[in-house]
């Protein structure tokens, strides 16, 4: 089905019925192109060199002179064009595996003759020939960049949760296949196009991935106009199949509960990827598909899958990795709580899949995150290791959340009449981590400065004792709780709303500047 773009124009090189012969591409060029990635080609004196001339005929990193044994080749037959066309970029086709390599490799999931896979082909003949943003690139340079970013990201995510032989590690998180946000990865390949150019024989790079038989989230919505960010999901249950397919694909309930479940799967997939140093980057609603099928078998619950990884960033391949080897999220034992990472503005592309009224009351969004993913508290059974500053920041912020609940109970006791009328607003106000609506915005800067002082003090004091995280969290909670309980919530006015808000703001200001 149409998965990545609205256009489905068949091109001669990959027409239905065409047989393709592919060789495995192992030495994939690391992600490059945008400025946050280093340039992959440098001279011995570390001077940046231009594009290799060879990308006109084959993907960078591929050796066309290497003789590929017959048992390492993959033969596919094109069944359907899913998206593409002239000057449309990658050509996406559905293929059937005719002959699979006899030897398995840890670089990708195993292929079996007779199975269907999706092939995303980066052939520069079908890339835009005039690209001026972010800088002028030729069509063959653009194709090689896109292949490097997508192939590197998918192969990296495939290796997550597996050992060096490609075997799944028990109890370890995986990122591809199954019910995960990322489809199964079947390798990066080079297609022998049987064409000759003035520079030599020509090849095209391609990524093979799991076939997702479903409907894009964009197709389940309407918009006011093409440029509108606001989408309106269909009200009635929607079939996850085309008119020429059967009903075994199932129907998707488009009620609010079902839409939020889909959004929870997406957000959960994002934070799981972050724990491995993978940032999904920019995306569109049409990049996500919903299906009830997995390799032809019916699933109990709908699965949402992201198909476009052109803008995905892997931390270890960015420039920042030279300064900091592991991202902050990679240094933590578990994925971060989504409430620690996301705001509605970062999920604006899904506006309509979450209730519109959340835009004016973001506390409802965070309440939903806590309900869906559990309370913001540190996990149990954490190893006895030295604590990093990044981990301390998260512990402090989560202690604040527990402290906000205590502050709210103080307010309720002091103002039993007024608080129920403004319970939502007061809960929103006292949560310094979530709201950011304290009386003065400069309090946020002071808060960060005070946290850093606290972190430095605790790090120095506890370094020799090497406390584990639960003990350290208890120390922070008791210290912050003492500041609040001493004086700040003993005398609260029962006058107007502004007076109560002002008292709470001053209370938090005092807490951070104590």
Same domain, 71 and 172: yes
CB contact at 8 A, 182 and 305? yes
CB 306 within 8 A of CB 153: no
- Whether residues 117 and 158 share a domain: the answer is yes
Residues 195 and 237 occupy one common structural domain? no
- Run of H or E including 99: strand 91-99
pLDDT winner (highest mean) among 27-41, 219-233, 333-347, 395-409? 333-347
Is the C-alpha dihedral spanning 160, 162, 168, 169 positive or negative? negative
Burial class (CB in 10 A: 0-12, 13-18, 19+), 73: middle
| In the block, residue with structure tokens 């069944």 | 79
Kindly state the tokens that stand for 166: 């490609």
In a domain, 80, yes or no: yes
Residues 259 and 185 in one domain: no
pLDDT at 312: 93
Alpha helices in 326-375 (DSSP H): 363-373
Residue 327 to residues 55, 278, 319, Cα–Cα distance (Å): 32, 9, 12
**Residue 1 pLDDT level (bands cut at 50, 70, 90):** very low
Residue 134 preceded by cis peptide, ω within 30: yes
**140 and 37 co-located in one domain:** yes
* Residue written as token pair 């609010």: 256
Instruction: Verify that 179 and 295 share a domain, yes or no.
Output: no
Percent over 70 (pLDDT), the chain: 63
Phi, psi dihedrals of residue 187, rounded to the nearest 5°: 105, 165
Comparing 310 with 140, the larger pLDDT belongs to 310
Q: Are residues 363 and 450 in the same domain?
A: no
Burial of 327 (0-12, 13-18, 19+ CB in 10 A): buried
Q: Is the dihedral of CA 472, 473, 476, 481 positive or negative?
A: negative
Whether residues 70 and 185 share a domain: the answer is yes
3-state DSSP assignment of residue 298: strand
In the chain, the number of structural domains is 3
Domain annotation covers residue 369: yes
pLDDT score, position 34: 78
Range scoring the smallest mean pLDDT among 123-132, 140-149, 247-256: 123-132
Handedness of CA 162, 163, 166, 167 (dihedral sign): negative
Boundary of a domain, candidates 308, 342, 373: 373
Last residue of one domain, picked from the residues 327, 342, 373? 373
- Is 331 contained in some domain? yes
Q: What mean pLDDT, rounded, does the chain reach?
A: 74
Determine, yes or no, domain membership for 77. Answer: yes
Q: Give bridge partners of residue 351 from the DSSP assignment.
A: 354
176 located within any domain: yes
End-to-end CA distance of the chain: 60
**Range with the largest mean pLDDT of 126-135, 145-154, 189-198, 230-239:** 145-154
**Residues 150 and 46 occupy one common structural domain:** yes
Residue 336 maps to a domain: yes
Q: Are 18 and 161 in the same domain?
A: yes
Please give, one letter per residue, the 3-state secondary structure of 451-478. HHHHHHHHHHHHCCCCCCHHHHHHHHHH
> In this predicted model, which residue has the larger pLDDT, 204 or 172?
204
Structural domain including 421 reads 389-512
| pLDDT tens profile 434-469 | 333 333 334 444 544 555 555 455 444 443 343 344
164 and 306 co-located in one domain: no
CA 369 to chain CA centroid, nearest Å: 17
The structure tokens listed for 173 are 């998180």
* Residues 6+ positions from 415 with CB-CB distance below 8 Å: 492, 494, 500
Confidence of residue 280 (pLDDT cuts 50, 70, 90): very high
At residue 183, the 3 state secondary structure works out as coil
pLDDT-based confidence at 272, cuts 50/70/90? very high
Q: How confident is the model at residue 260 (pLDDT cuts 50, 70, 90)?
A: very high
**Is residue 84 included in any domain, yes or no?**
yes
Tell whether the model's pLDDT for residue 114 goes beyond 80: yes
- 15: tokens are 């027409």
CB 106 within 8 A of CB 165: yes
Nearest to 210 by CA among 165, 179, 173: 179
Report the percentage of the chain scoring pLDDT > 90: 31
Q: In the prediction, which pLDDT does 42 show?
A: 66
- The residue among 315, 341, 373 that closes a domain is 373
Confidence of residue 135 (pLDDT cuts 50, 70, 90): low
Instruction: Name which residue leads in pLDDT, 229 or 102.
Output: 102
Residues 258 and 206 both lie in one domain = no
Q: Is residue 222 part of a domain?
A: no
Instruction: Give the pLDDT band of residue 474 (cuts 50, 70, 90).
Output: low
């Amino acid at each position: 089905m149409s998965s990545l773009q609205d256009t489905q124009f068949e091109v001669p090189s990959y027409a239905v019925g065409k047989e393709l012969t592919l060789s495995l591409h192992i030495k994939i060029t690391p992600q490059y192109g945008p400025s946050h990635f280093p340039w992959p080609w440098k001279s011995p004196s570390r001077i940046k060199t231009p594009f290799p001339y060879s990308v006109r005929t084959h993907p960078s990193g591929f050796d066309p002179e290497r003789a590929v044994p017959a048992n390492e080749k993959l033969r596919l037959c094109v069944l359907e064009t899913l998206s593409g066309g002239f000057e449309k970029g990658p050509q996406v086709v559905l293929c059937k595996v005719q002959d699979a390599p006899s030897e398995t490799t840890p670089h990708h999931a195993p292929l079996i003759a007779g199975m269907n896979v999706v092939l995303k082909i980066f052939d520069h003949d079908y890339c835009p020939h005039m690209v001026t943003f972010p800088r002028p690139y030729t069509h063959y340079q653009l194709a090689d960049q896109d292949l490097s970013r997508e192939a590197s990201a998918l192969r990296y995510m495939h290796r997550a949760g597996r050992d060096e032989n490609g075997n799944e590690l028990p109890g370890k998180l995986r990122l591809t296949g199954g019910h995960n946000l990322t489809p199964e990865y079947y390798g990066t390949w080079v297609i022998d196009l049987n064409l000759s150019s003035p520079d030599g024989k020509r090849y095209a790079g391609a990524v093979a991935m799991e076939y997702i038989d479903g409907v894009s989230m964009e197709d389940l919505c309407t918009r006011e106009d093409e440029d509108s960010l606001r989408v309106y999901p269909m009200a009635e249950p929607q079939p996850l199949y085309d008119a020429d397919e059967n009903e075994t694909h199932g129907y998707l309930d488009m009620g609010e509960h079902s839409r939020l479940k889909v959004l929870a799967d997406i957000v959960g997939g994002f934070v799981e990827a972050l724990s491995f140093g993978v940032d999904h980057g920019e995306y569109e609603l049409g990049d996500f598909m919903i299906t009830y099928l997995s390799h032809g078998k019916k699933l109990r619950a709908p699965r949402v899958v992201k198909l476009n990884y052109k803008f995905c960033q892997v931390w270890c391949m960015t420039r920042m990795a030279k300064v900091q080897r592991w991202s902050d999220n990679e240094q933590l034992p578990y994925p971060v709580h989504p409430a620690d990472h996301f705001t509605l503005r970062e999920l604006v592309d899904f506006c309509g899949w979450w209730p519109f009224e959340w835009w004016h009351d973001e506390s409802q969004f965070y309440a939903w995150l806590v309900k869906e993913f559990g309370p913001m508290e540190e996990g149990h059974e954490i190893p006895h290791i030295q604590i990093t500053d990044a981990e301390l920041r998260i512990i402090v912020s989560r202690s604040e959340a527990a402290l906000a609940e205590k502050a709210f109970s103080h307010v309720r006791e002091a103002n039993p009449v007024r608080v129920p009328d403004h319970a939502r607003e007061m809960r929103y106000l006292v949560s310094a981590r979530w709201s950011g609506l304290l009386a003065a915005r400069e309090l946020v800067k002071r808060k960060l400065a005070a946290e850093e002082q606290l972190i430095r003090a605790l790090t120095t004091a506890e370094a020799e004792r090497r406390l584990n995280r639960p003990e350290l969290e208890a120390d922070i909670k008791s210290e912050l709780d003492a500041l609040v309980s001493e004086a700040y919530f003993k005398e609260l006015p029962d006058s107007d709303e502004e007076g109560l808000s002002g008292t709470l703001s001053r209370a938090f200001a005092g807490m951070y500047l104590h």
